[in-house]
Structure 1
Amino acid sequence: MKFPIKKFLSITLPIALGVFLIIYKYNEFSAAQIAEMKGYFQQADYLYIYLSLFIALFGYISRAYRWKYPLQHLGYNPSFWNKLFAVCIAYMVNLSVPRSGEISRAVVLKKYENIPFDQGFGTIVAERIVDLFIFAAFFFVALIFQINVVSDFLTKHIPVDQLLILAVVGIVLAAIFMLVWMYSKLGIILKAKEKLAGLTAGMKSIYTMPHKWGFLAHSIFIWFTYLAMFYVTIFALPETANISFGAVVTAFVVGSIAIGFTNSGFGAYPILIAEILLLYNVPETAGLAFGWIVWISQTVLMIALGGISFLLLPLFNRR
């Protein structure tokens, strides 16, 4: 009984939060402002939105191709199409439960390529660690070149004193966990190490595989497509078309945070994008409409590709 309740809450709570944010935000607007936002949707040049979706396809393909390097190092050579289908399904699954797509990727390869779940999942975790470092580079670029805007935004939205306390507590707990993990002889810890051996092997494959530079090149290219697909969308509205590249990078970073910590940014993404663009003198109604246009277009793409992949997987693997 506990598992269904936990699963139900993991799906419904992020969605409920998104709905709350949407209702809370729109209650702040007058009827005239809502009508103004509708006008932005109608006047948007969707050619740039379609272009961003086309760019996104290269990111999907590159992520699937990149996955072959750590898997080959572990002795597996899955079909490119199975990897691509798994990636597409993962994006779609993330719309329900944050980060659950990583699990679905490993499940797909376990079912159709007979790759042990723990090793497949380990390579995915290692990928995410590399992605985190690249995202951190974007974050620090935005922080360095847009320090005034970023500091104003963080001061307004994040209680810095509480954040520092949580960071200290987190570091202490992480240090205690590492010491217990490394030196404890408790049976439960030893069993956990045994269970996670495959996961560890998958994670280590990133650092021990022979094609590190190919893996790194694809990692950089993937994030380049993320930034490029966001950049071209600013030309969809006249109000956002002339913002600086620094503003684009800052909004991209904040949007990525919203996507990473929620179910693909539902509710939170458009609001945070609007808040950032407001700092660059983009009207809040225009920023919110822009955020929704970007989020909806990407969500439709994820659902379409994920649904198609889900249908094609059994057909492709019918032998």
Structure 2
Amino acid sequence: MPKSLKTFLQFAVFLGLGILIIWWTVRGFTPQQINEIKEAMRQGNYWLLIPAMILGFASHWVRALRWRLLFAPLGYAPKKVNTFFAVMIGYLLNLAVPRLGEVARCGVLSRYEKIPVDRLVGTMIAERAIDLLCLIILLTVTVLVQVDVVGAFVNAYIWVPLSGKFTGVTLATWGIIALGGMLFVVLIAWLLRRFKHTKAGISFHNLLRGIVEGILSVGKLRGKGWFLFYTMLMWFLYFSQVYIAFWCLEETIGLGVKAALSILAFGSIGMIATQGGIGAYQYIVQQILILYGISATIGFAFGWIIWLAQTALMLVLGLGSMAAIPVYNKKHRTDSPDAVNK
């Protein structure tokens, strides 16, 4: 299958799923409820989205600084601005094709900072693994501090669907799966050994080694304290965006820290479930806010408001980064002492 066709199909599937979720969510609304959603969005205090978007910009900058720390053990020190540009270009492309941006940001930084792309991919994998761990911790804390509120939501939308998928799986099936996994690993190891002296084998081995070195860069960090600080700060900024956004609608002003934690934790799942989170994010936010006494129409409107603000910020910063990074690097080369001497 041509790569362009595969990319288009990925885009169509994830976007189609998001649109389907939107249709499924609004199909039960009466004309009166639709009018309530429009009225809520019309009367929203959107000036408060400005500080929320500033916090969003800060969170993206902090992510770039945190990612940059992983390059030190590998012997590289890319410019902060280039690292930020790469992160934002990655976010922009993720809106088009899920996970494409993760690879793209590595390619962009490799091009402008001359860092081997395999090592960048390794650091990206390590960073995303840490983000996943943080999300799991956040979900756990969110549930533990308010079991009475979100417990039913977790049971209905997460636990029951997951347990249902494994109900009919026997011990023999698990054994076959494990055996298949081991055979796959043995096959890969044999192929690497069998063709290690060929051009393709050497290239693949170097790629694999670079990725592993990038992943292991986390353990070699000298500034682990800074890495932890940036991680905590980044998630705090995410939380603050949601909390400030509550003040955009009169009906959500009274919501507090626990509600913001719930939206941040479960909404993060929605952001990766469909194309840019469209449909899934709004639906999850709506269902979460219902638990806190907010009507389905207001919850749906709030989900759209915060999603549009986040997406607009990514579009502006992503497109701006694509336009600015070649200009910035051209100017930097021109202003550098080496360029002047030449």
Partner residue, 1:149? 149
Q: Per-residue deviation at 1:183?
A: 9.0
Q: Is the 8 A contact 2:93 2:104 kept in 1?
A: yes
Contact 1:95/1:263 (CA < 8 Å) preserved in 2? yes
Structure 1 partner of 2:296: 284
Task: Indicate the larger mover: 30-39 or 169-178.
Answer: 169-178
Larger gyration radius, structure 1 or structure 2: 2
1:185 to 1:54, Cα distance in 2 relative to 1, 3 A: closer
Name 1:181's counterpart in structure 2: 185
| Partner of residue 73, structure 2 | 73
Match of 1:266 in 2: 278
Give distance in 1, aligned partners of 2:235 and 2:174: 28
Provide the rounded CA distance (Å) in 2 between the counterparts of 1:172 and 1:214.
44
Aligned to 2:339: none
Letter in 1 for 2:316: A
Aligned to 2:163: 161
- Deviation of 1:162 (Å): 2.2
Distance 1:175 1:50 in 2: 54
Per the alignment, in what secondary structure is the counterpart of residue 181 of structure 1?
A: helix
SS in 2 for 1:317: helix
Per-residue deviation at 1:24? 2.1
How far apart are 1:218 and its partner, in Å? 0.6
Q: Which amino acid aligns with 2:299?
A: G
CA–CA distance in structure 2, aligned partners of residues 193 and 178 of structure 1 = 20
For structure 1, the residue ranges without an aligned partner over 5 or more in a row are none
User: Which amino acid counterpart does residue 185 of structure 2 have in structure 1?
Assistant: W
Deviation at 1:54, TM superposition (A): 0.8
TM-score normalized with structure 2 length = 0.86
Equivalent residue for 1:305, pick from 312, 317, 331: 317
In 2, Cα distance between the equivalents of 1:208 and 1:182?
A: 29
SS in 2 for 1:64: helix
* Whole-Å separation in 2 of the counterparts to 1:174 and 1:313: 46
Deviates more, 1:133-142 or 1:241-250: 241-250
Read off the aligned partner of 1:161 and give its amino acid letter: S
Secondary structure of 2:29's match?
A: coil
Q: Distance in 2 between matches of 1:312 and 1:285?
A: 40
RMSD: 2.4
**Residue of 260, 263, 268 corresponding to 1:256:** 268
Q: Indicate if the aligned counterparts of 1:90 and 1:102 stay in contact, CA closer than 8 A.
A: yes
Separation in 2 of the partners of 1:277 and 1:11? Answer: 29
The letter of the residue matching 2:230 is H
Distance 1:184 1:160, change over 3 A: closer
Partner of 1:38: 38
- Equivalent AA in structure 2 for residue 98 of structure 1: P
Residue deviations 1:19-75 (CA, integer Å, cap 9, x gap): 111122222111111111011111111122111101111111111111221112101
SS at match of 1:17: helix
Alpha carbons of structure 1 residues 170 and 71: separation in structure 2 relative to 1, 3 Å? farther
Question: For residues 48 and 178 of structure 2, what CA distance do their matches in structure 1 show?
Answer: 44
Q: Does the C-alpha gap of structure 1 residues 184 and 55 become closer, same or farther in structure 2, counting only changes over 3 Å?
A: closer
Q: Mapping of 1:228-267 within 5 angstroms?
A: 228-267=240-279
For 2:224 and 2:36, how far apart are their aligned partners in 1?
50
The size of the alignment, in residue pairs, is: 319
Secondary structure at the counterpart of residue 67 of structure 1: helix
Which secondary structure state, in structure 1, belongs to the residue aligned with residue 75 of structure 2? coil
The corresponding residue for 2:133 is: 133
Q: Tell me the SS of whatever aligns to 2:96.
A: coil
Change (3 A) 1:244 1:112: same
Letter in 1 for 2:80: F
Shift of the 173–143 alpha-carbon distance from structure 1 to 2, 3 Å rule, reads: farther
Letter of the 2:313 counterpart: L
Question: Residue 59 in 1 paired to residue 71 in 2?
Answer: no
Say if 2:326 is the partner of 1:314. yes
Deviations, residues 172-198 of structure 1 (Å, cap 9, x unaligned) = 857863685379641157745553110
CA displacement at 1:155 relative to structure 2: 3.1
Partners of 1:290 and 1:108 in 2: CA distance? 35
Per-residue deviation, 1:240 = 1.2
8 Å contact 1:134–1:220 — kept in the other structure? no
TM-score, length of structure 1 as denominator length = 0.92
The answer (yes or no) to whether the contact 2:251–2:294 under 8 Å persists in 1 is yes
Distance (whole Å) between structure 1 residues aligned to residue 178 and residue 225 of structure 2: 31
